[in-house]
């Protein structure tokens, strides 16, 4: 069960990273930086970016959707395992009484 909790924490951190990293890149570009390597010469010299903003947005939304889907699936697995564990413990206690 602890492995599932670690997986959920890792997925939540990945979702936060997907949401926060683009903001940090944009802030770096606005402050005259290279945007973490996206525009090595700065925003003024960035005539050919690696991706268009629309492609970048689609990739981010798709990545965030997949991470949220994975969180839901792992949480559902955790609930199912917990319910099965409860049923097994309940059956064992009934056999001891019975």
Q: What pLDDT sits at residue 69?
A: 96
User: Containing H/E element for 51?
Assistant: none
Model pLDDT for residues 55-68, shown as the tens digit of each residue: 778 888 999 999 99
Q: What pLDDT sits at residue 67?
A: 95
Please answer whether residues 59 and 51 qualify as being in contact, where contact means their C-beta atoms are separated by less than 8 angstroms: yes
Q: What pLDDT sits at residue 19?
A: 87
The model's pTM: 0.68
Tell me the residue range of the domain where 76 lies: 2-97
- Reply yes or no on whether the pLDDT at 52 is more than 90: no
Q: What pLDDT sits at residue 36?
A: 78
User: How many domains is the chain built from?
Assistant: 1
**77 pLDDT band (50/70/90 cuts)?**
very high
């Amino acid at each position: 069960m602890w492995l599932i909790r670690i997986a959920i924490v890792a997925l939540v951190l990945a979702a936060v990273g997907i949401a926060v990293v683009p903001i940090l890149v944009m802030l770096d570009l606005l402050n005259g930086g290279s945007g973490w390597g996206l525009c090595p010469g700065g925003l003024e010299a960035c005539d050919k970016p690696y991706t268009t903003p629309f492609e970048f947005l689609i990739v981010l939304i798709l990545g965030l959707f997949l991470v949220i889907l994975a969180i839901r699936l792992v949480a559902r697995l955790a609930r199912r395992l917990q319910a099965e564990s409860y049923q097994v413990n309940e059956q064992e206690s009934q056999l001891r009484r019975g």
